[in-house]
Amino acid sequence: MSTIIDITLLEAIRCNANILPNEIMKIAWYLMEMGADMLCVNDEFEKFAIKAPEDIKFINLKDTFVEVELDEITIRNIEDVKQYLQDKPCKALMFNGLYKCLPWKMNEYIYEIKSNLSMPVGLCIDNTKGTATALAVEAVKAGVDYIVTCFCGRGRYRSYPALEEVIMAVNLLYDFNKPMNMKNVQKMADIYEWVSGINIPAGKPILGKDIFKCESGIHGDGILKDKQTYEPYPAEIVGKETEFVIGKHSGKAMLLKKLRSMNIDCSDKEANEILKSVKQFREEGLYVDDDLLKKIFFSLHENVSRLR
């Protein structure tokens, strides 16, 4: 199994220079708990004078690897790298960039690297084309020695393979059985938003707040019969639960049932009007949660009262 080096700590410091040592340690614990093997640091990190437990392992990339920038991996590029390394003492090599690589060719890339370079090799893949996580997962499957990740996949100036997605994918897709514990992933997500100032999209895999929301209707019926119909892993793994919401595919019977569960009595005529509003909100990309459903209902009542 590849060694996963996570760069989130460095990116947190770059995003927020006022972050405190105890906050850094909390992030470190969460990252190791999720499945990172080592946490990337640099000389700047030393100013925090953090004494970490032995369970938390740090690595300085510049002290460990000779770093080489490449857009893609080709036989010619590897030959150029061999020439470049002839006069350099090198115990391990880190390829940076690689955004032009193709996920389905990763086995071929790693084979060429290992056939031509007699040293451990790592990949720090840039997400310029939105394929970094897929490339990282395939690289792990192909047997690369090291892979660099970042929580949520975004740093201050560049993007990386997303730690949580790489860990989940290699376990679910390829049965690697890499130790992972995602129970605090939502707490880590809150810290990430605070430190970086970046709002995590509602539909972001693993982290998004809406990923286990399902409109009642044919999709909801499928999940009730077998959750694996639409859910690749149990919501509980990442501290969530499946939530059924009223949407444009919902019928009147489901709406009335939902309203009764909220202790709201509603006539068939009112239900038809509410469904029109619900469908309008969904067309705008908004989920209709319980609070919004109540607002729609009471707004309808207020309009009816004025007409009377």
Residue 3 confidence (pLDDT)? 94
Cα Rg of the chain (Å, integer): 24
Q: Per-residue pLDDT tens, the chain, 308 aa: give them.
A: 899 999 999 898 888 877 887 888 889 999 999 999 999 988 777 666 566 677 788 898 888 999 999 999 888 888 998 888 887 788 899 999 999 999 999 999 999 998 888 899 999 999 999 999 999 999 999 999 999 999 999 988 889 999 999 999 999 888 888 888 888 999 999 999 998 888 999 889 999 988 888 776 666 667 767 777 788 888 888 888 887 777 777 777 777 777 887 888 888 888 888 888 888 888 887 778 778 888 888 887 665 444 33
Side-chain half-sphere CA neighbours of 307 within 13 A: 6
pTM for this entry: 0.82
DSSP three-state, residue 158: coil
Question: Would you give the distance in Å from CA 50 to the centre of its chain?
Answer: 27
Element (H, E) at 174: helix 163-174
DSSP three-state, residue 123: strand
CA angle (51, 53, 56) in 5-degree steps: 105
Q: Is residue 290 exposed (0-12), middle (13-18) or buried (19+ Cβ within 10 Å)?
A: middle
Residue 214 confidence (pLDDT)? 76
DSSP three-state, residue 271: helix
Both tokens assigned to 174: 């390829």
**Residue ranges of domains in the chain:** 3-196, 213-307
CA angle (22, 23, 27) in 5-degree steps: 115
**Phi then psi dihedrals of residue 138, to 5 deg:** -70, -30
Residue 218 confidence (pLDDT)? 67
Q: What is the DSSP letter of 210?
A: T
The correct answer on CATH 3.40.47.10 for the domain covering 3-196 is no
